[in-house]
Structure 1
Amino acid sequence: MEELTRIFSAFCALFIFVLFSENNFIVAKADDFEYEYVTCGSLIKLLNTRHNVRLHSHDIRYGSGSGQQSVTGVEPVADTNSFWQVKGKQDQPCSRGTPVKCGSTIRLMHLQTKRNLHSHTFSSPLSHNQEVSGFGEEGVGDNGDNWVITCSTTYWERDLMVRLKHVVTNSYLTVSGDVYGRPIHGQREIVTVPNANQNNFWKAMEGVYLKPTETSGRD
């Protein structure tokens, strides 16, 4: 089973690698650590280091709260619904391949549904913290899609644990510890909370990382 999972993950990475290469981007696969930064435009999976689940979404809506697309945490490594694209603010796009600065504001767009990682003051269904959802259409949403990368270095390094702080509510992306039943049995509840703690840490894992070209610098 582990071998099948590894092969499937490699196939997904290769497919995305080819897709990006056809658009003349320079990319690094998940197991290529020669380039150490998370960059604008990269496709990544985010691992919550405390609960060992990856940030996930799908075209299933909450039955309460906002009724928007649900965002969860899942354990399977090979799930293609766990890919997110790193983007700049809607009114301030970042250059593809540019390393993400710690303290900068980004958006994360879900690859499959093209909805942005979003939060607001709606109550989450299980723990009654603040709900996290997928919002917008084709990557276009609102200010509730903005997240600040909080980390201790100059740039977001791929082996670094970081926090994502929601700009509007001033709260941190986290795993509540609660587990859903049907129709998303076993998936973890993702919320935002006002306090920084061990449940807030995320790490960039599998994905396709854009490298800067010779003409793109760090801004």
Structure 2
Amino acid sequence: MGHLHLDVFPRVLTARLLLLLCLFGLSAGTELSFVTCGSVIKLLNLQHNVRLHSHDVRYGSGSGQQSVTGVTAVEDSNSYWSIRGTNDAFCHRGTPVKCGQTIRLTHVNTGRNLHSHYFTSPLSSNQEVSAFGEEGEGDHLDEWTVQCGGSVWKREEAVRFRHKATDALLSVTGEQYGRPIHGQREVHAMSGPSQHSLWKAMEGIFMKPSEILAGGRDSSHPHTEF
């Protein structure tokens, strides 16, 4: 089993998330029933009740990239992810994310993208999931396709994320890490769908659709649920 080492950066609320809170924290809006591009959200694995999480802790085996885990804590600021388009397909702020759309999930506090590849995960020996890139820019292995049942990703819906390059699904099966991230669950990717690969959008900043879509002036506003 691979070991993890802790980087020197403190686990505090970074300038990126603090800026978002200052800009959007007091904003209000009507309830959105779907997830939109540009939103900053937390994702809950329904089977294991953990939120998708990352931090400045790197894998001691496999790729050596920034680790991605699942945490039970609701309030942890390291569990926020920004929904973005890909280099080939822009994701206009406030537009609903469609079922079958390919997106990137960028970790707000570190600026690295949710990523996978054919390295072996340290605990379960499934496919490793990491966070990769700098300031939101990585490579084609950062792309995930949203699998849901209708035309758009509904907030109350259980969805799956299929890694575009390897066809594996973002999953949690319950393996727990020891020090220095004791109790956090391993996040990995698996080839087949199961209850372990179901996720739901939870807390965050949900960008409202722009009136441009209805032929009017752009008046995009966020809806917050911290």
TM-score (ref. length: structure 2): 0.83
Equivalent residue in structure 2 for 1:19, among 17, 23, 36? 23
Matched letter for residue 212 of structure 1: P
Equivalent residue in structure 1 for 2:103, among 106, 120, 143? 106
Query: Secondary structure of 1:216's partner?
Result: helix
Query: Secondary structure of 2:78's partner?
Result: helix
Q: Which residue of 1 aligns with 2:184?
A: 187
Matched letter for residue 152 of structure 2: Y
Q: Deviations over 1:158-193 (max 9, x none)?
A: 000000000011000000210000111000000000
Q: Which residue of 2 aligns with 1:97?
A: 94
Query: Secondary structure of 2:196's partner?
Result: helix
Q: Which runs of 5+ in 1 are unaligned?
A: 1-12
The question of 1:202 aligning with 2:206 is answered no
Q: Which residue of 2 aligns with 1:172?
A: 169
Q: Which runs of 5+ in 2 are unaligned?
A: 1-16, 215-226
Structure 1 segments, 4+ long, off by >3 Å, are 13-18
The change in CA–CA distance for 1:128 and 1:36 in structure 2 (over 3 A counts) is: same
Query: Secondary structure of 2:116's partner?
Result: strand
> How far apart are the structure 2 equivalents of 1:79 and 1:200?
21
> How far apart are the structure 2 equivalents of 1:139 and 1:195?
28
Matches within 5 A, 1:54-93: 54-93=51-90
8 Å CA contact 2:45, 2:196 repeated in 1: yes
Matched letter for residue 169 of structure 1: T
The question of 1:39 aligning with 2:36 is answered yes
Q: How many residues align?
A: 198
Equivalent residue in structure 1 for 2:156, among 154, 159, 166? 159
Matched letter for residue 99 of structure 1: P
Q: Which residue of 2 aligns with 1:127?
A: 124
